[in-house]
């Protein structure tokens, strides 16, 4: 390890082991494993959601590779396997960011400080396992490639095409990476190498459609972007808000990073990308991770900290105890429970007697992964808009969601959620079981 990189690598190790030690599996994760399992059993890609009773005919399934990978990870280690994969993805992402910072000429101390701040600014992306696991290293890789090309143009730019093709089969954030690449190609590369820029641009957008859905790939992305959660700003589609503590922490870290990034005098294409990513973040808060990852390298350059003195070598060596302790904690503890336990889920299945169960997003995904049938679950965009709307109303404890309660006798819901609070006041249902996370209800009659 080079002496001038000790702090940087310590920060990378700390970030990755922190992820391994405290990450939990969240909503928008287990459904991939459930669909991957269904594809493996059937030997084909289903045209509807096999574990949901709500109509989902002729759904376009694009991220099939991501579903299969999640299935394999779940089969190997369950939630532990998913958390381990998240930690690896974060480690690769931080390593790529470190390479980007070093190539830009940032000092070791500045690199380390920025890397340490990234997990705090992006808690919901780095410390919660979701489908965007794949996009964390792939976005960092795309940005590294673009910045390398901006400094020294070459034929390596064509690597963007297979990168987009792979990414499109894994996760929808490929659109964000492709948008940043488009800005670079049109604002920067076009002036210096017109035909290469136009060729890579056309090939990259064409690569977006190299999925099992082929020409209908665009239909899938439009369905996601125009789903009811996206239109209403619900859940993962919620806009940036000062009422969300995690968004407040993000802003506390991101604003200084943006200041230092602008101070480093980035290229025009980088400034345009920063503006677009900032607008996307305000519109949908979870886009904040892409803004933070993009500004990391210029922010480290703008920070202008000097390297750590060699006299602090002993202190740096002793500081490695932090990632070691976090790694031990990750190995020794089990993933945090975020869904109803096996006993409560089993009770729900017995009470349902083969009928679909109405459950909140995370519990519905877990029931689907168990091979059980639910009314509706992620991916929510696969269903009719009226069913999406009724389900979101129920999750938010609104009266419009009561139409779902009239159709189902067994309901599994997260404890202390708005849906659970409304059920507790509904005389038509009675509580029949609960654990630390969820509550089970059955129709009283």
Mean pLDDT of 93-109: 95
Say if residue 324's pLDDT is above 80.
no
Q: How confident is the model at residue 310 (pLDDT cuts 50, 70, 90)?
A: very low
Say if residue 318's pLDDT is above 60.
no
pLDDT tens for 104-135 read 999 988 999 999 999 999 999 999 999 999 99
Say if residue 1's pLDDT is above 80.
no
- Token pair of 309, please? 């003195």
State the chain's mean pLDDT as an integer: 92
Mean pLDDT of 76-80: 93
Residues written for the chain: 445
Say if residue 150's pLDDT is above 90.
yes
Which pLDDT score is estimated for 3?
A: 46
Cα 105 from chain centroid (whole Å): 30
Q: Which of 313, 222, 240, 232 is nearest to 1 (CA)?
A: 313
Percentage above 70 pLDDT, the chain: 93
Query: 128 - beta bridge partners?
Result: 24
pTM over 0.85: yes
Mean pLDDT of 428-443: 96
Helices and strands counted in the chain (H then E): 22, 6
pLDDT tens for 208-238 read 999 999 999 999 999 999 999 999 999 999 9
Cα 410 from chain centroid (whole Å): 30
Which pLDDT score is estimated for 306?
A: 58
Which pLDDT score is estimated for 314?
A: 45
Cα 439 from chain centroid (whole Å): 27
- Which three-class secondary structure state does DSSP give residue 376? coil
Q: Which DSSP symbol is given to 55?
A: -
Which pLDDT score is estimated for 313?
A: 52
Q: Do the Cβ atoms of 301 and 264 come closer than 8 Å?
A: yes
Query: Measured between alpha carbons, how far is 37 from 224 in angstroms, rounded to an integer?
Result: 22
Which pLDDT score is estimated for 5?
A: 66
């Amino acid at each position: 390890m080079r002496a001038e990189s000790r702090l940087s690598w310590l920060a990378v190790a700390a970030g990755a082991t922190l992820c391994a030690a405290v990450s939990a599996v969240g909503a928008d994760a287990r459904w991939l494993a459930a669909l991957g399992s269904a594809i493996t059993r059937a030997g084909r890609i289903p045209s509807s959601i096999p574990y949901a009773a709500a109509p989902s005919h002729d759904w376009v399934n694009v991220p099939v590779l991501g579903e299969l990978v999640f299935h394999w990870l779940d089969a190997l280690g369950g939630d532990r396997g998913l958390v381990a994969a998240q930690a690896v993805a974060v480690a690769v992402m931080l390593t790529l960011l470190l390479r980007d910072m070093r190539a830009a000429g940032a000092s070791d101390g500045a690199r380390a400080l920025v890397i340490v701040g990234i997990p705090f600014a992006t808690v919901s992306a780095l410390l919660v396992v979701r489908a965007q696991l794949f996009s964390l290293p792939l976005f960092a890789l795309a940005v590294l490639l673009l910045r390398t090309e901006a400094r020294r143009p070459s034929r390596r730019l064509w690597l963007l095409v297979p990168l987009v093709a792979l990414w499109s089969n894994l996760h929808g954030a490929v659109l964000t990476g492709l948008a940043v690449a488009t800005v670079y190609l049109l604002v920067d590369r076009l002036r210096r190498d017109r035909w290469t820029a136009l060729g890579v641009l056309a090939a990259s957008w064409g690569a977006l459609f190299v999925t099992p859905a082929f020409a209908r790939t665009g239909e899938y992305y439009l369905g996601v972007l125009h789903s009811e959660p996206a239109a209403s700003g619900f859940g993962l589609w919620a806009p940036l808000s000062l009422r969300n503590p995690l968004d407040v922490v993000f802003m506390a870290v991101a604003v200084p990073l943006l200041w230092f990034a602008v101070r480093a005098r980035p290229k025009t294409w980088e400034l345009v990308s920063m503006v677009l990513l900032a607008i996307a973040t305000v519109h949908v808060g979870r886009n904040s991770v892409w803004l933070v990852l993009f500004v990391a390298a210029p922010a480290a350059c703008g920070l202008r900290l000097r390297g750590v003195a060699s006299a602090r070598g002993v202190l740096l060596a002793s500081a490695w105890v932090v990632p070691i302790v976090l790694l031990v904690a990750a190995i020794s503890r089990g993933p945090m429970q975020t869904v109803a336990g096996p006993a409560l889920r089993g009770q729900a299945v017995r009470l349902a007697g083969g009928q679909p169960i109405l459950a909140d997003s995370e519990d519905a995904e877990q029931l689907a992964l168990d091979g059980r049938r639910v009314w509706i679950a992620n991916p929510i965009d696969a269903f009719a808009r009226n069913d999406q709307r009724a389900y979101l109303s129920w999750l938010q404890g609104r009266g419009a969601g009561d139409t779902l309660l009239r159709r189902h006798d067994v309901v599994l819901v997260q404890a202390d959620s708005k849906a659970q609070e409304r059920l507790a006041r509904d005389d038509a249902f009675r509580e029949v079981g609960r654990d630390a996370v969820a509550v089970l209800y059955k129709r009283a009659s």
